[in-house]
Each structure stands twice: as structure tokens, then as C-alpha cells.
Amino acid sequence: MQNQQGSNSALISLGLIAALLIGNCALALGPWLVRLADTGPVSAGFWRLFLAIPFLLIFAQVSNQRLSAIPPKTMAIVALGSVAFALDLASWHIGIGLTRLGNATLFGNGGSIILLFWGFIAARVAPRGSEWLAIISALLGAAILMGRSLDISTQTFIGDLFCLTAGLLYAVYLLTLKGARAHFGGWSLLVWVSLFGSPVLLGVALLRGEPVWPTDWTPILILFVSSQLIGQGLLIFAIRHFPPLVIGLALLTQPAIAALYGWLAFGEVLVPLDILGMILLGSALVLSRVHRPQESRGTGHD
């Protein structure tokens, strides 16, 4: 009997680890699919959110997560956070088209590090121990990667700035919704974020004069399925079962995969200095997740 229980526990653990890794791998496909889409980059973000809404509604209902009877003040906060998330997605998608995919993924997930900085400012305390290591690694890694981007072209450097801005906006999104999360389940919150964020992305795309309606739906459909349904779904399912260190380490699969297909598909070659910068910034991402407050932990760059 005990052997059977041990086998079941081992299978459950393997299943959760697989869900965590597959979820991160699915999200890692996002930058590649944004580049493949024949819409504009912000338009691709609009379709990613908009097409997922019916499925998210179903998931929320099946999970018995309420979508109504939310206090108006809480809903207003969610709307504000959703705007921050939509602008984060817009900035990130624009940056994806300008910089290297490994850089885009690392900088786009930089919200964890920004929240760590904000925690010190808000609490008016100095970093200690490994917190200093996270800060120094983040600054050195970012400086190396952005310096390399500037060596390649001004456009690549500007792409890094767009992705860094996305990381900042994602931190704003997490901070804004920190108190509101108590009123929502993971799926119901994604429903409202998608409902509020989709019009913002569509408006930005139209203001930029981007083509919105795709002639080839394949990249758009794979983007919304892999990012919003598979990636988000598996992480929502698995993330609560792991400590922050494991979540942070699993997150590093995203920039690794992005850098790999950036090289294979777009010829984005990494020199040893690039790899050093990615290792430093990746280490800072892991350390920052360990030191972030529990209520502020998201699923990575959504």
C-alpha cells in the first residue's frame, strides 16, 4: 500500500514538473510567433488576448471562479492594472521585432527584478546578502547585453529599451493587482484582464497604423493557444506547488529557448560576452523571485 502511494506521489510530482516546464516552453514560443505574424506586433497581442476570452470564460466556470459580484473599487483597480498589462504587451511585442529574441525574453521578464528594487524603496531598507548579488548581477547583465545590442545597431538597442519598458509595466501590473487578487481565481482574473486589455491593444495598433486582420491565421492561432491557454494554463495549475527557487529556475527555459530559435530561425549569433550577460541577468531573475513577496509573484511574462 505504501509503495503504491509512493508511486502515485512520484507520478504526481513528475506531472507537476512537466506542467511547469511545458508551460514555460509554450510561453517561450511567443516572440517567434510575433515575428512570424503578418499583422503588426501590437495587433498580434490584441488577437492573443481577444481570441482567448471564450476559453478563459469556460475555464473560470469549470473551476467555479466567480466573475461577478466584484466590488466596483476592485474592478476599477483591475481595469487600471489591465491597461498596464496591455501596454506592457504592446511594448514587449514592438521590442521583439527590433532586438534579439533572447534579450527580448530576458528583459521582458525583468518585472521580478524591478519589484525587488521597489520593495527596498517602499520599505526604506537596504539590500542584504543575496539581494545585493541579485542587484549587481542584474545591472552587470543588462549593461553587457545592452552594450552588445548597441554594437550591433541602434535599432537593436532601442528594442532592448522597449522590452525593459515592458518589464517595468509588468511590475506596475503586478503591484496594481496585488490587493485585488484576493477577490479572483487565476482564470477569472485572466478573463477580466483580457476583456479590459484587448481594446487598449487594438487602439494602440490602430494608432500605429498596423495591419490588424491577418492574411495567415496560423501564427496568430498558435500564439493565443500556446501563450494564453497552454502556457498560462499549465503555470496556473503548477506554480502553486513549487517554491520560488524552482519557479525561477524553470523560468530560465524561456530565454534559453528564445535564444536558440533566434539563432536557428533568424541567425542571431551569441558570442561568449552575450552568454555571460544572459547568465548574470538570468541569475538575477531567479534570485529576485526568491526574495519577492508571495502575493506579487506572477507567472512570468504572460
Kindly report the three-state secondary structure assignment for every residue of the chain.
Answer: CHHHHHHHHHHHHHHHHHHHHHHHHHHHCHHHHHHHCCCCHHHHHHHHHHHHHHHHHHHHHHCCCCCCCCCHHHHHHHHHHHHHHHHHHHHHHHHHCCCCHHHHHHHHCCHHHHHHHHHHHHHCCCCCCHHHHHHHHHHHHHHHHHHHHHHHCHHHHHHHHHHHHHHHHHHHHHHHCCCHHHHCCHHHHHHHHHHHHHHHHHHHHHHCCCCCCCCCCHHHHHHHHHHHHHHHHHHHHHHHHCCHHHHHHHHCHHHHHHHHHHHHHHCCCCCHHHHHHHHHHHHHHHHHHHHCCHHHCCCCCC
- Which range is least confidently modeled, 12-16, 152-156, 255-259? 12-16
Give the model's confidence band at 126: pLDDT under 50 very low, under 70 low, under 90 confident, else very high.
confident
Residue 108 has pLDDT above 60, yes or no: yes
- Which range is least confidently modeled, 6-10, 24-28, 58-62, 183-187? 6-10
- Which range is least confidently modeled, 2-6, 55-59, 99-103? 2-6
User: What is the pLDDT, as a whole number, of residue 205?
Assistant: 97
User: What is the pLDDT, as a whole number, of residue 295?
Assistant: 44
Residue 159 has pLDDT above 60, yes or no: yes
Give the model's confidence band at 155: pLDDT under 50 very low, under 70 low, under 90 confident, else very high.
very high
User: What is the pLDDT, as a whole number, of residue 3?
Assistant: 56
